[in-house]
A = this chain, B = another copy of it.
Amino acid sequence: MIKISVFYPYKDGAAFDIDYYVNRHMPMVRDTIGAACKGIAVEYGVSGGAPGSHPPYVAMGHILLESAQALETSFAPHLPKFLADIPNYTAIEPVIQVSEVKLQ
């Protein structure tokens, strides 16, 4: 299983509409990918390792795909559509990671 993780770095004063992200953006991503999408997940940053510290990321979104093949055929072609929706919830530029799920 392949996981695409999208990290939004925490920035003092930078807005992030978590409700839009959870209820509109990520479901749109899932529905656009279709059957190749094996799951979506969202986390909202609370803190870093020290209580009360800023989290490294204000939010993180994850997309599960069955294979690297699906990344190419079912995700990459829609990337412009996904990116075009970002200004609707934040001005933060995300960091992207593609991972192999080893344990879940």
Contacts and interface: CB of A to CB of B under 8 A. Distances in A.
A36 interface: no
A7 B7 CA distance: 12
Contact of A56 (B7, B46, B49, B68): B7
A48 interface: yes
Q: Which of A40, A56, A98 has the largest count of B CB atoms less than 10 A from its CB?
A: A98
State how many copies of this chain the complex holds. Answer: 2
Interface size class, chain A: 20 to 34
Interface of A: 2-3, 5, 7, 18, 22, 26, 40-49, 55-57, 60, 68, 95-104
7 contacts: A40-B103, A41-B104, A42-B104, A43-B102, A49-B98, A55-B98, A56-B97
Given A5-B43, A40-B103, A57-B99, 8 more contacts: A26-B103, A41-B101, A42-B103, A45-B98, A46-B68, A49-B98, A55-B97, A60-B99
Give 6 closest A-B pairs by Cβ, nearest first: A49-B96, A43-B99, A42-B103, A42-B102, A46-B98, A41-B104
